[in-house]
Amino acid sequence: LYRSLTSYEQVGETVTLKNKKYNRVYLTEEAQLDMSKVEIYNADFDQAVVVKDSSSLAILNSQILSKNTAITSVGEETIINAISSEMASYGLFVLDISDKALFTGSNLKITNLSENGSGINVRSEASMVINNSNVSVKGVGVETDAIVSISNSEITSSSLKFYEGASVTLTDSRFYTDHGLLLVDNPTENKIHVSLNLEKVKLNTTYGAALSMIDAKASVKISESTIGQNSKNVMSLSNSEGTLTLCNTSIEGNINTDETSSLNILLKQESVLIGQINNENKYNTVTIQIEEASVWELTQDSYVRGIILKDKTLNGIKSNGHAIYYDTKCATNTWLNGNTIYLEDGGKITPDN
């Protein structure tokens, strides 16, 4: 079958294709192609579909199977819109979107059939918006330093990796991972921040922390979501600066940082954090702010840099008999006056001497 197929190449022009079979589709120089019920089986080229030079491609009810990348889109004003289609690869990525290209998709099935291949790569100021889709890979599900929005979808992968420069929104979706969401340094671009917003998301992590920051600056907002991890670690920071905001969300698990990191946590809108902070390493690198109607419930002694309570009745802390050790040098703690405050359920807020 593969040997009998030919390559379709289009330079400029506007064309519609239906019920065709090819081993490659190649668009360049502002070509515009609408294809429906097209099958592409690629065993000869590095990419099954290439869209570049301000070209545009609309894909409907089609199938793409490639020995390497299924779709590559490169360049500003290069656009792909895919609906109700299947895309599979045996290579490094299934979708590779870069250099200010735009990819939108709905009702997609994206699969990498190799043992360590990844799903979606969105880099260099490109953008991606997908919904009602399924991604299944053994490697990284989504890898990006650009703009990505995923809604009403399901991704099964080893992890999702967001480099500095990424702005990622995950909504009404489910993520089943081995190693959670990784927010990491950008080795190729001069970017300095990752923005991650999770709303009505279910995230399951088998090993390690659900959220890991590594050599990065990042902000994470989690709203109305469920975060589960077998190791009971919510977040881990290594040489990073981060903020974590919980809105109307309950999370059970621990937060750990190394001594070179800093983390600001905000609990708001009836959020609950059940776990300890830096119990093992005893670093004062985390500041936690607990707004009214939100609660931090301790499972072990914890160490913080600063603690801010909007409710001065201390109802925002359920200590279960454990202690919170704070840094007396932190200006945030002036309201404590360097004193020890004993809590009703047997715990205490006390200076870390």
pLDDT score, position 1: 46
Q: What is the dihedral of CA 188, 190, 192, 194, to 10 degrees?
A: -50
Assess whether pLDDT exceeds 90 at residue 5. no
Residue of 298, 317, 293, 297 lying closest to 307 (CA atoms): 317
With a cut of 90, say whether residue 66 has pLDDT above it: yes
Residue-level pLDDT at 310: 83
Q: What is the pLDDT of residue 142?
A: 98
On whether the CB atoms of residues 88 and 70 are closer than 8 A, the answer is yes
Minimal CA–CA distance to 236: which of 209, 204, 271, 276? 209
Report whether pLDDT(4) > 70.
no
Tens digits of residue pLDDT in 172-227:
999 999 999 999 998 877 778 999 999 999 999 999 999 999 999 999 999 999 99
Residue 3 has pLDDT above 80, yes or no: no
Q: What is the mean pLDDT of residues 146-164?
A: 98
Q: What is the pLDDT of residue 132?
A: 98
Across 104-126, average pLDDT: 96
Q: According to the model, what pLDDT value does residue 2 have? A: 54
| Strand ranges inside 200-347, DSSP E | 202-205, 211-214, 217-223, 226-229, 233-238, 241-247, 250-252, 254-257, 262-268, 272-274, 286-290, 295-297, 302-304, 306-309, 317-318, 323-326, 341-342
pTM, entire model: 0.95
Model pLDDT for residues 222-244, shown as the tens digit of each residue: 999 999 988 889 999 999 999 99
Task: Give the span between the Cα atoms of 201 and 156, in whole angstroms.
Answer: 14
Burial letters 83-109, b for 16+ CB under 10 A, else e: bebbbbbbbbbbbbbbebbbbbbbbbe
Asked if residues 59 and 85 have their Cβ atoms less than 8 Å apart, the reply is yes
Residue 105: pLDDT band (50, 70, 90) is very high
Residues 60-67 have a mean pLDDT of: 97
Whole-number Å distance between alpha carbons of 353 and 335: 18
Q: Please give the Cα distance from 291 to 267 (Å, whole number).
A: 6
Specify the pLDDT at position 192. 83
Q: Which residues pair with 56 in a beta bridge?
A: 32, 79
> Rounded to whole angstroms, how far apart are CA atoms 219 and 59?
35
> Strands 286-290 and 306-309, how do they pair?
parallel
- pLDDT reading at 311 higher than 90: no
- Is 80 exceeded by the pLDDT of residue 348? yes
Mean pLDDT of the chain: 95
